[in-house]
């Protein structure tokens, strides 16, 4: 049975190799579940995660925090070659925006 308050991040995708749908959980990257339908793949991975969480609780292991409950500051550092940095700074200046605004726009952030 899946966790009662399950806030983990799930994804279902098709596996050409297995010819089945694969249920995945971002917070538990080593787990997966194969099934014939996307719905069953999701149900399967949720059951697997539930069992793993129960086992981790029993053994006193640290349980991954759901991404949906983590606090993100909105800041991260990206290292780029100096010539790319210069090129982006010029583009930002030409558009009359900050480098941060230009980078956010290029990343698809509104």
Per residue in 35-65, pLDDT tens? 999 999 999 999 999 999 999 999 999 999 9
Q: Is 91 left (phi over 0), alpha (psi -120 to 50) or beta?
A: alpha
Q: How much is the pLDDT for 110?
A: 58
The residue among 75, 10, 80 whose CA lies nearest residue 43 is: 10
Can you tell me the mean pLDDT for 70-78?
91
Q: Is 61 among the domain residues? A: yes
Q: Are 79 and 61 within one domain? A: no
Asked if residue 61 and residue 40 are part of one domain, the reply reads yes
Residues 45 and 84 in one domain: no
Residues 23 and 56 in one domain: yes
Coil vs helix vs strand at 91: helix
Q: Find, among 79, 10, 75, 70, the residue nearest to 45 by Cα.
A: 10
> How many domains is the chain built from?
2
Q: Which residue has the higher pLDDT, 76 or 26?
A: 26
Mean pLDDT, rounded, for 93-99: 94
43, 92: one domain? no
- Residue 80 scores a pLDDT above 70: yes
Question: Which residue segment(s) compose the domain that 50 sits in?
Answer: 10-67
**Residues 44 and 22 reside in one and the same domain:** yes
Instruction: Tell me: do 45 and 86 sit in the same domain.
Output: no
The conformation of residue 68, written as its DSSP 8-state character, comes to G
25: nearest Cα among 1, 57, 2, 56: 2
């Amino acid at each position: 049975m899946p966790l009662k308050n399950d806030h983990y991040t799930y994804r279902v995708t098709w596996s050409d190799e297995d010819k089945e749908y694969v249920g995945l959980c971002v917070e538990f990257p080593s787990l997966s579940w194969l099934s014939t339908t996307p719905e069953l793949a999701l149900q399967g991975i949720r059951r697997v995660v539930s069992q793993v969480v129960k086992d981790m609780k029993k053994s006193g292991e640290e349980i991954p925090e759901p991404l949906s409950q983590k606090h993100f500051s909105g800041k991260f550092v990206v290292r780029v070659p100096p010539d790319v940095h210069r090129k982006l700074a010029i583009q930002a200046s030409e558009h009359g925006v900050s480098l941060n605004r230009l980078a956010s726009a290029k990343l698809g952030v509104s």
